[in-house]
Each structure stands twice: as structure tokens, then as C-alpha cells.
A and B are shown apart, each in its own frame.
Chain A
Amino acid sequence: MATEIISLKDVSFTYKGSKRKALNGISMSVLEGECVAVLGPTGSGKSTLACIMNGTVPCFVEGELAGDVTVDGLHPREAGTAHMASRVGLVFGDPDTQLFGMTVEEDVAFGPANLGLSYEEIMRRVTRCINDMRLTGLEKRAPHRLSGGQKQATAIAGVYAMLPKIMVLDEPTSMLDPEGKAKVFSIVRALKEELGVTVILIEQEVDDIISLADRVFVMSAGSFALSGTPAEVFSEPEKLRKAGVRVPHVVEFGQLIGASSVPFSTEDVIQTIETGTWSMAAPPRDPVAGQPVGAVSEAGIEPARSASDPDPLPDPAVGEPVIEVKDLHFQYPSGAKALDGVYLTIRRGEFVAIVGQNGAGKTTLTRHLNGLLRPTSGEIRVLGRPTEGVPTTELCAHVGYVFQNPDEQLFCTTVAEELGFGPANLGVAPKIISARVEALLSDIGLAKYSDVWPKYLSKGERQRLALAAVVAMDPEVLIVDEPTTGLDWLESRQILDYLERLWRQQGKTIIIITHDMNIVSLYARRVVVMANGKVVGDGTPQQVFSQPELMAVACLRRPAIAEITDALWGEVLLTPAAAAARLYQRTSSHAEVDQS
């Protein structure tokens, strides 16, 4: 019988200067060797929970802590952070701010050296951790020359080198691309299975957690909304949704078709269907909006996949080309070749997702479209006019560009100023500007924040503000670079729903860069796949997802439901609801055939 290693009893915490409780009466018990996942939207108290485990809250970040915290037999608050560090390892989301060495080796040595260990002991640990975290061969590499996944692996190795019994990972994959995410999850698996470490994993990636965690806690507004084994937690999708957590495709599909047990993987689902352990009495209803899912159209997309839209409209008509890229080559001054002969035409009214691995050239390509980068050779036309010699300050009136990190594009000290900044630079009349700002504030749901410093908004709100600040310039084309990085599912949906409204109601052409195939399958009407500076695939989401070899080239993973429907019927469907409807259709038509 494993012993209890973490015990929280009725723990509450209020940050200094705040009135709201960040944690509100939390109780939790973790056994040695367990892997516990904590889910929940941003601001629900997950990070606070993580920091309480090693005592940084309240020793370092001040506030009022109530209740009893015991970790590995110690009370972190009394033991102090430095003392806890060799028992509880804490890894954060942003790899850049947690790497301190000039090389991988030195970074891993940083923690043990702070503990005052001898050089020989440090080197023994460094060698072992580098080996355990699959970083062999990179010992002398400078951290800034690593990929995102390798950086995060180094950060984990650096914490693990202090040989803690417990590792707390706070959204370790939030900044990574799919390849990096896969690397980090394989390390977490190794920590749990090979090294016997107790793991507390705070994550947004529900699909990966479901097969990794022994137990799952779902946080909402400072307390646990749900807890139990994955089977227990995921059998209550309504509560998950209410807490702002995305329900994995497999689970949602299982629920829609009335599977006898909650499926956790695509294999589970396929087995369920093949063994017939499901029962669906009526065509499925969309679980979010409660609307019956309409007949599946020929392309397999249900109209308006955005489920929050109660009265789906047909897709807007696609018009003349707004962006034409011909034989575009680009080489950075360092000599690195980023684009290698790109051809791409985007028409007015399209909703395009550009996907591909980090370094495939997505951002380099889109930065050419508003003139931030200039081609080494090749031609770009915007609205039919060549961009050569046209400065960004002019192009930005037609092609709006929203950067990945909202903090790098919010400059003003109030939300309203921020929205008025772009149009004022374009020379729009003050009256029109104030009308636009007014309208945008209510569009993005920030009306009451108009005089607040953007820094004080949540990450999701800042991302919406950054987007609206570009929309304020009223460009025909909107380019949005990874709009959902570091956001929770609810915040991501809010951003994408807003983009869809702009697309549908104002006829904007939307180009998003993303790694999130769930977002692609829900919103994009066209997918452009890039790899090694070239466009390697182009088509509807169905067409692209029907080519597993193309997805492999781009290091992308298809959404689970596409995987399932492809395996079952050789056809790609994009949402669990559509798949369930197709299943119903197939079985009922079988039944009809049987009757006649």
C-alpha cells in the first residue's frame, strides 16, 4: 500500500492586495508514485496550487494561507522554499525564463550547485538526468539553440537533478508545438513509469492526460469541481464543460453514441463500435448548443461548426484574389533559408488555416504579406497590387497582422487607447475612431474595462484586445499568428468565435496560423500545410486530414475523431457530432436494407 505523500486539508489562499480567494477550501491527497492531473481554465487557481506545494506560496509570493499543507512529511511554509526544492520540483510553462546555464549541462547543474553539493556528485546527477531526459548529445549546446521541446526537457532535467520525490509541472507544454508536446509527454511518462516519481501535471491537453493520469482533478474558481479516476471524471462531460475544460473527442463521441463504457482512446472507440457495445436511439443532438445536428452535408462539414451560433448561415461567398504569392523565396541575413518557392492564392472571404511544424516557414510567409519581411526573390500582390516598395505602414490598412504574444503588441495604458492607436496612425477621423472603439469594446466583451491598463486583463482578454486593436484599422485581410497559444479552451473558443463573426458578418478574409488541429477542424474552411519552407498541402480540412502521410511530413496529428472515422469508414469527419450522425445514418440505412 503506497503511502500518502501530499496532503492538503481545507486549504485556502488569498493573494496580498486581493479580495478574492485564489484557492477556496481545497482538500487533496496524493499517494507516492501516483500521476495526478489537474485541469481547469486559466485563473482557476492551478498555478497557486502548484506553488503551495513547494512553499513559494506563501513564503515568496505573499498572501494569506489557511488550512493544513503537508508535503513529504514537511509543512512547506515552515520548511522554506530552498529546503522544499530537493523534495518538490516545480517546472513552469515558459522555458526561456527557467533556463539559467550557458549550456544544457550547466543548466542541469544549477539546482544541485545551489544545494552546495560536491562537484563529483553534481556531475553524477547531471549525467544521469541528461540521460533520463533523453538529452544525450546536447550537453554542451547553448539553451537558446535548442528546440522548444528540448528546452522544456532541459528545464525538467534541471529540476529533476535535485532528485525530488515529487514533480509538479505547471502547463509544461503550453508554449510548445505538437512535436515538443509529444517529447514532454514522453518524459512525463518516463518520470512516472521508469523513475517512480510522483507527478502532479497541470495541463490543458486533455487528450494526452486521459491515458497518462491515475487521477484527475478539475479546478474551477479556486476549488475542485470534479475529481476521481479518468473514467469517473470523463464520464461527466457536462460538468467538464461547465468548468471550462474541453471534452476529448473520444469521450464526447462515446457519450453521443451511448457507449457502454467511457472510451479513452481511438482504439477503445473502434472496439466499442465493432463489438456493438453502444446504443443510439435518436440522431445525436449537439451537446453544446442543444441543437439537433443537421444532415451531414456532402463535404462532411455541418454548416457552421461553431456550435454557439444558434442559426447557422451558409458560408459567405468567396470572391476575387486578395493575396497572391508567386515563387516566394526568403533567406535570413544569417543565411538560413526560410522560404523556398511558395505559391499561394487567397481569395476574398476565405477562412484559411496555415499549419505545420515550428520552423516550417508559416510566420515567415505571413510576415511577408504586410511587408514586415521583404522577399529575397518572388512576387507578392495584395488586392491585385504588387507590395514592392509599399511600406508596412500603408499595407497594414489592408492586411492586419496579429502577433502571437499579446504582451508584445499592447503598448498603451488603457484598453480604449489601445483600440484607437492603429486608426489614429492611419489618419482616421477622431469621431469615427471613438465610434469604432465603442463598437469593438462591446464586440469583444471588454466594455467595462475601457479605462483599465491592458496588463491587468487576463491572457484571453489581452489576446482578444490585441486582435480587436488590429480589427480597429478595418483591414480586408486579417492574419492571426497562433491565437490560442497558452490559452484555455474557453478562451480559445472566444477568440475563434470572434474571428468567425468577423468572417461571416463583415466578410473579412481570415488567415490563422495554428498547431491546434481541434481549432482547424472546427473553424477553418481551407487548410494550407507547410513544411521546409514550401506549401506541401492545400485543401479543405477533410481533404488534408484524409492524407496521413501529409500530416506526418508536417509533424501534425489529426484530431481523434478524424482518426476514428477514417479507420472505421475510410472517410474523414470533423466533429464527434457529425461522426455520430453518420454512424446513426449508416446503421439505420442498414436496418432499412434489412427490412426490405
Chain B
Amino acid sequence: MPLGQGALGLSVCYALAIGYLVLMWLIGKVLTRQYPNEHKVEWNTRTIARITILAAVAGAGAMIKVPGPAATIALDAAAGYFAAAYFGWPVGATVAAIGCFIANALGGFASWLPMLPIYLAAMAFTVTLAVFVQKKVGIVPAIVVGTIANTITCLGPWALMIGPALMIAILPSQLIGSAVNAAVGLTVAAALKAAQVRKRPDWMDQDQ
């Protein structure tokens, strides 16, 4: 029995969103403790500048459209995955949330505004979970887990509120979209990291 789109449904969903954030924080703590080099973030000007630019990339990415089998797919979430894998989960989660906000604002808050905070929490949680899996298992499982987590966390609240029927209808496009974003974000981060390490011979000195 769906909870409805009123106060009750929304309250439950907001509680769920807080749950996402708590989970994210727990997973993040483990990451920070075990991989301090990659996941401990200093909140200085440079970090803020990076978050700003990557959030803008997420907003602009919402306008890249890849014509896909179920629907056109926008690359709005890729920046969050990228940031999490490249700069650590705190930056990634922030970029994912702010990027999601900007992408939605640019799209005219296409899905219902009261749901937006839940999406922001869901995105932050998803990218953190994905980099956790990537660290622990590998990049392919991370993409799979990221896709599933993203789909469940974004569609789950709707299913609670208005029942699963509509959700099943948009499930395929949501799945493909999530998978493409996770795959692009994580692989590009890996490729950039690899390029940075390998493609710079010792005899080249840093130029400024």
C-alpha cells in the first residue's frame, strides 16, 4: 500500500534520505581510515575550487545526450563518480550532491522539487558506495553496485510514495543511465590517474 505523495510519504522518504547519509558517513569513515592518502580531504581553497568546477561540469554534463535504447542518457552524475574516485569520497559526495542540484535546477527541477533533497542524499551515498566497492573489489563490481544503488535509492522513495507501477516503467532507462554514468565517471578517473602516473617520464621536469 503506497504511502501517498503527501506529508506522510515525504516524511518517510526524508527519513530514508537521512539513512542514506548515515550509511555514506559510515562507509566514508572506513575509507578515510584505511586509505588516508586518497580519501582524507583538506578543505582548502583548492578543494573548493575543484568542487565548484566539477559541479559545473555535472550541470553541463546534463546537457550531453547520448541517444540510448530506452531513452536519451545525460551524463550528469559522471562528475560525482569521477570526483569520488579521483579526489576522495568527501569531494565526490559533495560534487554529486551539488552537481545533482545544478543539473536539476537547469532542467527546471523537472522532477518534483520536494524530492530533490532525497536525490542529493542518494547521489552522495551512491558515489561513496561505488568508490568503496572499487577500492575493495574492483572497478567492474563498483559500476554494477553503483548502478543498482543509484536506481534503488532514486526510485525507491517514489515506489514508497506512489507504488511500484510507474517505477517499473522507467526502470530500464534509469538502469542504463546509472550504468553509463558510473562507467564513464569511474573509468575516466582511472584512465586519468593512469595517464598521470605512467605517461610522464622522469626526464621531463615540471614546467610552470
Contacts and interface: CB of A to CB of B under 8 A. Distances in A.
A–B contact with Cβ pairs below 8 Å: the answer is yes
Which applies to chain B's interface (DSSP): helix, strand, loop or mixed?
A: loop
Given A452-B201, A456-B200, A17 B206 contact: yes
B191 A413 contact: yes
Interface string B183-208: 00000000100111001110011111
A20 B207 CA distance: 9
Contacts of B196: 453
Contacts of A48: 208
Nearest to B52: A100
Contacts of A458: 207
B143 to A, nearest CB: 20
B191 to A, nearest CB: 7
B45 A43 contact: no
Interface in A408-426: 413-414
Contact of A15 (B191, B201, B206): B206
B138 to A, nearest CB: 21
Interface residues of A, number: 19
B46 interface: yes
Contacts of A261: none
Which applies to chain A's interface (DSSP): helix, strand, loop or mixed?
A: loop
A18 B206 contact: yes
A192 interface: no
A159 to B, nearest CB: 16
B178 to A, nearest CB: 25
B205 A20 contact: yes
Contacts of A414: 199
A545 B46 CA distance: 47
A15 B208 contact: yes
A453 B206 contact: no
Contacts of A453: 195-196, 199-200
A452 B208 contact: no
A48 B205 CA distance: 15
Contacts of B191: 413
A273 to B, nearest CB: 43
Given A60-B46, A452-B200, A22 B195 contact: no
A413 B207 CA distance: 19
A45 interface: yes
Contacts of B206: 15, 17-18, 20, 22
A456 B195 CA distance: 10
A452 B199 CA distance: 5
Interface in B28-57: 45-46
Nearest to B53: A97
Nearest to A452: B199
A413 B205 contact: no
B37 to A, nearest CB: 15
Contacts of A10: none
Nearest to B49: A97
A18 B201 contact: no
Nearest to A47: B208
A239 interface: no
Contacts of A20: 205-206
B59 to A, nearest CB: 14
A121 interface: no
A456 B199 contact: yes
B205 A18 contact: yes
A203 to B, nearest CB: 18
Contacts of B46: 60
A145 interface: no
A15 B45 CA distance: 19
A451 interface: yes
Given A60-B45, A60-B46, A413-B191, A43 B199 contact: no
A451 B191 CA distance: 15
Interface in A443-487: 451-453, 455-456, 458
Interface string A37-81: 000000101011000000000001000000000000000000000
B199 A451 contact: yes
Given A413-B195, A453-B196, A453-B199, A19 B204 contact: no
A18 B46 CA distance: 20
A596 to B, nearest CB: 62
Contacts of A19: 205
Given A60-B45, A60-B46, A413-B191, A22 B199 contact: no
B195 A455 contact: yes
Contacts of A43: 207-208
A168 B191 CA distance: 37
Interface in A395-440: 413-414
Contacts of A22: 206, 208
Contacts of A17: 206
A234 B46 CA distance: 40
Nearest to A18: B206
A48 B199 CA distance: 25
Q: Which 9 A-B pairs have the closest CB atoms?
A: A453-B199, A18-B206, A20-B205, A413-B195, A453-B195, A15-B206, A43-B207, A18-B205, A456-B200
24 contacts: A15-B208, A17-B206, A18-B205, A18-B206, A19-B205, A43-B207, A43-B208, A45-B208, A47-B208, A60-B45, A413-B194, A413-B195, A413-B199, A451-B199, A451-B201, A452-B199, A452-B201, A452-B204, A453-B195, A453-B196, A453-B199, A453-B200, A456-B199, A456-B200
Given A413-B191, A453-B199, A458-B207, 16 more contacts: A17-B206, A18-B205, A20-B205, A22-B206, A43-B208, A48-B208, A413-B194, A413-B195, A452-B199, A452-B200, A452-B201, A452-B204, A453-B196, A453-B200, A455-B195, A456-B200
